[in-house]
Amino acid sequence: MKKLIFSMCCILCSVAVLGQNENYSSETLSQKYSEQTKIISQAFKDKNYKQAKSLLNELIDFFSALPESELKKHSSALPNLYYDLTCVHSLEKNTKMAISSFEKAVGLGYINYSHANKDTDLDNIRNDKRFKELMSSIREHGDYLYIIQQAVKYQKEDTTGYPKFVYEDIGNWRIQNVKKYLKLDSIAGNGDEISKIINIMTWVHNTIPHDGSHFPNCEIDAVDIYNYSKANNNKGVNCRALAIVLNECYLSMGFKSRYITCLPKNENDSDCHVINSVYSKTLNKWLWMDPTFNAYLKDEKGTLLGIAEVRDILINNQTIILNEDANWNNKNPQTKENYIDSYMAKNLYWLQCPARSIFNVETNYRNTNEKYLSLLPLGFEREDKWKNNMITHDDAYFWQAPEFKD
């Protein structure tokens, strides 16, 4: 049941099964949904497939009964639930029911070829002719490693007139207040640069829960988001808010940092993920830090990696190692297969970030007219939905090293 928990933790946080005719609050529904998925997960571990099927069918009935307008908000629910039902039937060696469930999953939009291709729960139906046909039908849309490997590379181009990346002045009182208020010197510790970078990321992960459906109703800066979460019983926030918190924490400690929105090729896929890219003076490179999953990545030699390096390694089929303590909300451990192959490989097709990495760059209360920069592979066209978004195919420009004052 790794797939069910992983795929829905970012999508269905405000909806749950049970008591369809009762008036649950969003918080109660979220709690009950969480309880239900825990029971399903345990049923899988106990090989109690009868119970798992019953609970999955209850969830399917619940989502099927939602109004169309509400179901659209949770468009991944039914495809993933039918996928997990496929796993149950396959484990029971009920090929007919497994294929039927998989057909429904695909018909409703399930496309995660990468996961299905490696999921051992499906081994009992893997040689079935119809299963092979269905897998072939989703590869062009759901084999995320294949898709990113087909992307044309970047090229050097004239970026005259494009903005220069700017980072908050560490002397600014607003960013210094982040450091003092959150006691980041103590959190970072007395170790080397890398240990401080990881310690701060882990603290954000452990301190503010993740809730993929919720953007905080407050000013969008580290202190206000932190206080918002605490004032609302440790209420979770989405990945963008978490990355903004971590970004300002890094800036306040003198690290050059950006938060990067990682997006898929399929423009009908509303899912994306926001992580952080922090520059290490020790390693002279950008580093991948993800506060949602407490995740960072290394190559086979144990060297920490940045977003650009991870993308290249995926394209070249090389080894990536995920830190062992990567997890979601200190509940669900992450694996390289789930986190990279089935999730981030999809969301590394193109990238976007603000040109200025400063305090409160995405304020709710004033029009800042901030410029955003998007890095796209050659030949990929994306509708410019953002008024101040500028597109480049020059990865050297996008990943230029920051300047440091002597």
The separation between CA 18 and the C-alpha centre of its own chain, rounded to angstroms, equals 28
Q: Which residue bears the tokens 């490997």?
A: 149
CA distances, 267 to each of 197, 346, 350, 380 (Å): 33, 12, 11, 11
Least confident span in 30-34, 113-117, 283-287: 30-34
Give pLDDT tens digits for 286-301: 999 999 999 999 999 9
Give pLDDT tens digits for 174-228: 999 999 999 999 999 999 999 999 999 999 999 999 998 889 999 999 999 999 9
10 C-beta neighbours (distance < 10 Å), count:
20
Please give the backbone phi and psi of residue 351, each rounded to the nearest 5 degrees, phi first. -135, 155
Judging by beta carbons within 10 Å of its beta carbon (0-12, 13-18, 19+), is residue 163 exposed, middle or buried? middle
Q: 292 near 275, Cβ under 8 Å?
A: yes
Q: What is the structure's pLDDT at 6? A: 40
Give pLDDT tens digits for 304-335: 999 999 999 999 999 999 999 999 999 999 99
Q: How confident is the model at residue 32 (pLDDT cuts 50, 70, 90)?
A: low
Give pLDDT tens digits for 3-27: 443 443 333 333 333 344 344 344 4
Q: Whole-angstrom Cα distance, residue 57 to residue 368?
A: 48
61 C-beta neighbours (distance < 10 Å), count:
12
Give yes or no for residue 67 having a pLDDT over 90: no
Amino acid letter, 207:
T
Domains of the chain: 2-142 (1.25.40), 150-398 (no CATH)
Give yes or no for residue 28 having a pLDDT over 70: no
Return the structure tokens found at 307.
Answer: 């977003």
Q: Which stretch of DSSP H or E encloses residue 209?
A: none
